[in-house]
Every structure is written in C-alpha cells, then in structure tokens.
Copies of this chain bind each other. A is one copy, B any other.
C-alpha cells in the first residue's frame, strides 16, 4: 500500500492468535486505504471495506470501535510515511536548495502513493481528527526545520510564530498545486517544470536570505 509497508501477500500457514488478529486488522486497514484513495471517504462504507478485505461486516467492529476511528487513522499513518520519504530525499545542501528538494520529493511521494492525495484532501471533512493529527505532525517537524535554517543564518527576520504561519502557507501552496497539477487524464503525473520554478522563485526569495549571494540572479 505504502512504500514502507509491504503488502501482506497471502495467508501464511500457521499464525498464532495474536498474529491472526493483527493480520485481519491489517487487511481491513489496507482495504480502507485502497478504497478511500481510489473512491474517496464517502464511498468507503463498512460494507465496501470489509468486502474488499474479504471479511464479514461484523468483523470490522472487532477491530475498530466504529467506522470513524479507522478513517481517522488513515492519514496520520501515511503522513508519517511521507515525512520519512521526504527526509530520505533531502540532502545537505543550502537550506533554500533543500526546500526545493522537499517540494520535489512531496510530488514524488504523491506518485509513489497515489492514494495519498485523495486521503489528504478529503480528510479535512471526513476525518477531521486524523487531519488535525497529521497537520500537527507536519507543522512540528517543519517549524523545526525552519528554526534550524534560521540558526544557520539561512533565514532572517522570521519569528517562531511567523514560522508556523509560513508552514501553513507552504502546506497550502503544495495542497493546491498538487490538486491542480498532479492529475492529468485520471492518472497521477509529474508536476510541470514551470510549477517547480514558480515555487522556487517565490519561496526561495521570500523565505531565505540571498546571502547565498548572487544565486538570486543565476536562476
């Protein structure tokens, strides 16, 4: 389902009780990810999820308190995968360059896990609790990144409070851009170059010091 969670690929011969239990729960979870990712939360009825998972409807309630509980776990789970994915693809270059790398990695992740975009975008309304949890995760991590860049002198003149607002703007920008530019004819596509360059100009100039002198006009 996600790059880091290799799909369970078949019934293993012998499982103890705990393993069987976890395995069933996992089947349901993966089924939900698949369905929400492809058809949206609204289509993710318990009937449909359990059918996809190959278990009975009643089984669902042995593993989750209710439908909402599962739905609220979806985004934070994948969100963590995303953070790890992006971190792994961010080098040790200048702060401004790193930000562009993160931006690109975000779109790479969308193509890697096509379910993510839909789960992210709809979560706000269909899984508000999970959405909030995800946002908190991202904001916390991102603000820390900005703080470090400020400590390193790559950012000046922004307070911690302003950093939070900046992170929301970055997330908003990515969210809207991904919706506009990640799809084409039903398929998930790479983001166009002019979008990357626009982001680069706006955010690099806006956020980072140009004491990485000269770079500004090189681009």
Contact = CB atoms under 8 A, between A and B. Distances in A.
Interface of A: 40, 42, 121-122, 124-125, 157-159, 161-163, 165-166, 168-169, 171-177, 179-181, 192, 194-195, 197-199, 201-207
Contacts of A161: 192, 194, 198
Contacts of A198: 158, 161-163, 165-166, 169
Nearest to A191: B165
Contacts of A195: 162, 165
B176 A172 contact: yes
Say how many copies of this protein the assembly contains. 4
A131 B206 CA distance: 29
20 contacts: A40-B125, A121-B124, A122-B125, A157-B201, A159-B194, A161-B194, A161-B198, A162-B194, A162-B197, A162-B198, A165-B198, A168-B180, A169-B173, A169-B198, A175-B175, A175-B176, A201-B206, A202-B203, A202-B206, A202-B207
A219 to B, nearest CB: 9
Contacts of A197: 162
A172 B167 CA distance: 12
Nearest to A168: B176
